Amino acid sequence: MKDCEFSDNKVLHSWHNNAEEWVKVIDREAIPSRKLITDQAIVETILAHSPTSVLDIGCGEGWLSRRLSAEGIEVWGIDGVADLICEARRRGQERQHFHTLSYEELDPQAFENKFDLMACNFSLIGERSTNVVFKNACSLLNPQGYLLVQTLHPLISCEAENYQDGWRPGSWEGIEGNFQETAPWYFRTVSSWVHLFIEHGLELTTLREPINPTSGKPASLILAGQFRL
Ligand SMILES: C[S@@+](CC[C@H](N)C(=O)[O-])C[C@H]1O[C@@H](n2cnc3c(N)ncnc32)[C@H](O)[C@@H]1O
């Protein structure tokens, strides 16, 4: 497939159509690497930064927001898919605030407060939409606040393709479910991720590669950058 067949709009369209199945996947803990490694890795990394307020970007059905609010953290979750936000609200408890909002609509004026930390757990999928999140980060964060990203590890997810940024067709392979369509995603190299932090005024403070003990390979890449005045 060529680049022109993919777009940020197609990403959201696909997540919209697969929202119900995605909730079932999370409930069944049907992605082994999440259960085994990456859920714990993101929670540990966030807690290590001791935030009192978190903006969960692309929160899905809200599992991470719930986990963080159980630690006493005030959490705001946004997602572009209304059905997922409905589900997050239905399951939500105190200290949780959910809004249907695409990254393209992300506006610091939309919130009454700023955040100690913005968390993006496997949710920066598009090209332009990811740039918008980075562009707004310093306006959304308190001084010394962090933008934290967990993503597929580029060296593993690159597979047989050339190691360069670009749109890739999505796949639900290995995840059981009645998915309607695949969600395309924009591949970025490690240096491209690092560059996003630098060019948007965030000082890279963390780079983690949690290892999958079964394969001995990295299960993900976790990066954090700090907004330093
Ligand atoms: C792989 S899911 C991850 C959900 C959640 N962070 C988790 O850990 O389970 C990706 C999420 O990003 C959201 N998303 C992707 N692109 C988006 C955009 N441009 N605006 C808003 N939400 C977006 C999708 O709707 C989906 O809920």
Q: Is the CB of 152 under 6 A from ligand 1?
A: no
Q: Is the CB of 111 under 6 A from ligand 1?
A: no
Sign for the CA dihedral angle at 58, 63, 68, 74 comes to positive
Q: What is the pLDDT of residue 195?
A: 98
Is the confidence at residue 4, as pLDDT, over 50? no
pLDDT in tens, 180-197: 889 899 999 999 999 999
Is the confidence at residue 107, as pLDDT, over 90? no
> Collapsing DSSP states into helix, strand and coil, what is residue 50?
coil
| 54 DSSP β-pair partners | 75, 117
Alpha carbon of 58 to ligand 1 centroid (Å): 4
Torsion of CA 120, 89, 84, 218, to 10 degrees: 30
Side by side, which strands form the sheet with 221-227? 96-100, 74-79, 53-57, 115-121, 141-151, 221-227, 202-208
Q: Is the CB of 222 under 6 A from ligand 1?
A: no
Ligand 1 atom 27 nearest Cα = 60
Name the packing angle between helices 8-17 and 128-140 (round to 10°): 90
Is the confidence at residue 3, as pLDDT, over 50? no
Mean pLDDT of the chain: 95
Is the confidence at residue 156, as pLDDT, over 70? yes
pTM for this model (two decimals): 0.96
**Which residue in this structure is represented by tokens 């479910």?**
177
pLDDT in tens, 139-153: 999 999 999 999 999
All domains in the chain, ordered by first residue: 3-227 (3.40.50.150)
Structure tokens at 201: 């005024």
Is the confidence at residue 80, as pLDDT, over 60? yes
Extended strands (E) in the chain: 53-57, 74-79, 96-100, 115-121, 141-151, 166-168, 185-187, 202-208, 221-227
- Is 66 in contact with 92 (CB distance < 8 Å)? yes
Q: Using 50, 70 and 90 to split pLDDT, how confident is the model at 71?
A: very high
Q: Is the CB of 69 under 6 A from ligand 1?
A: no
Phi first, then psi: what are they for 208, rounded to 5°? -120, 150
